[in-house]
Amino acid sequence: MSAIGYYILLPFIYFAAILPFPLFYVLSDFNYFLVYHVLGYRKKVVLQNLRNSFPEKSDEEIKKISRKFYRYLCDLFLETFKTLVISKESMKQHCRFHPSTIELFEKYNAKKQSVILVLGHFGNWEWAGNTFGITCKQQLYVIYHPFTNKKFGNLIVKMRTRFGTKLIPMKETVREMIRKKDEITATAFIADQTPPVEGAYWTTFLNQETPIFNGTEKIARKMNYPVVYVSLKKIKRGYYEVFAETLCETPKTSGEGEISELHTKRLEKDIRQTPELWLWSHRRWKHKKPLNL
C-alpha cells in the first residue's frame, strides 16, 4: 500500500471504527457480500485447505464452513479496527476473561513467575491481547514480524498497544526476554505461522504434514517459563470469552518436540470444534516436508 493509498483509506478505517456495533455489523455483512460473492478473495486457497483438513466432510459441509469463515473474517477485519476507539469498559464486555483464566494468571503473578503464552490465529486474538492488558497484572509482550509497510504497520502497532501491551520484533525475542527476566511478564507467541522449512519441527496438523515454528519451544526451555495455551470462544457476534490452561509447568524437563506437539494438538482441537474461527485464507501448507526428514 502506497502512502497515498494509506491516507485515502485512513478516514474510512476510522469511520468504520466509530460506528455503533449494530451498524458496524451491517457494514461487515456488506463486506462479506463483496469479499465472498463478488471478489472471491482466496476462495481456492480456503476450499483446498478445508478439503485437505477435513477429508471426511462432504463438499456441501466444506462450502458451509467456507461461507461461515468468510462472514467471520469480515467481522474480524472490522473488529480489529474497532480497537482504535473502543473504551476499556467496552473492551472488557466484548472480550472477557473466564474466572478460571484470571485465577491462573493471578497465581503466576503471586509467585512472581513469568509465563509464555501460545495461541493461534483463532478467534479475535487482537481483542484477547488488549483485554489481557486491562485484566491481568503481568506485562504482556507480543512477538511480531515488523511490517514492510511502515505507515500501515504503525497503525496496527497503535491498535495493539493502546491498553498497555508492548511488542517485541521476532529477531530480538531471546535478547529482550533475557533483558526483562527480572520483570513479571507474559510473552505471547502466535504458533501457527508458516516458519522456514530449515530447522522447523514437523508434525501432523489437521491431517497434513506441517512445519511448526520451534522457537517457542526452544525459548521456553531456555527461560524455563511455564507454557500457557490461550483459547478464545465466540459467545455470540462481537462477544468472546478467553480461556487459558498450562501445557507445561517446567519446560526444561520436557523432551524434544513435546511442547510443540502439545500446543499444536490443543489448537487443532479448537479448530475442529469451531472451524470457521481459524484463518483458512492463510497459505499454511505452502511448504512440503523434505525427503531427508
Contact 177, 187 (CB under 8 A): yes
SS3 for 204-264 is: EECCEEEEECCHHHHHHHHHCCCEEEEEEEEEECCEEEEEEEEEECCHHHCCCCHHHHHHH
Question: Is pLDDT above 60 for 1?
Answer: no
Mean pLDDT for the chain? 94
Q: What does the alpha-carbon distance between residue 167 and residue 160 come to, in Å, rounded to a whole number?
A: 8
Q: Walk across the sheet containing 239-248 and list its strands.
A: 95-97, 239-248, 227-236, 115-119, 185-190, 139-144, 166-169
**pLDDT number for residue 148:** 83
What is the mean predicted confidence (pLDDT) over 22-39?
97
In this structure, the strands spanning 185-190 and 227-236 are unpaired
Window from 186-190, 191-195, 289-293 with minimum mean pLDDT? 289-293
Q: What does the alpha-carbon distance between residue 275 and residue 125 come to, in Å, rounded to a whole number?
A: 15
**pLDDT number for residue 198:** 83
Percent of the chain scored above 70 by pLDDT? 98
C-alpha cell at 273: 470444534
Window from 74-83, 167-176, 193-202 with minimum mean pLDDT? 193-202
Q: What does the alpha-carbon distance between residue 223 and residue 178 come to, in Å, rounded to a whole number?
A: 8
- pLDDT category of residue 189 using cuts at 50, 70 and 90: very high
What is the mean predicted confidence (pLDDT) over 153-182?
94
pTM, entire model? 0.94
What is the mean predicted confidence (pLDDT) over 171-185?
96
What is the domain partition of the chain in residue ranges? 3-277
Question: Is pLDDT above 60 for 8?
Answer: yes
- pLDDT category of residue 152 using cuts at 50, 70 and 90: confident
**pLDDT number for residue 2:** 66
**pLDDT number for residue 67:** 98
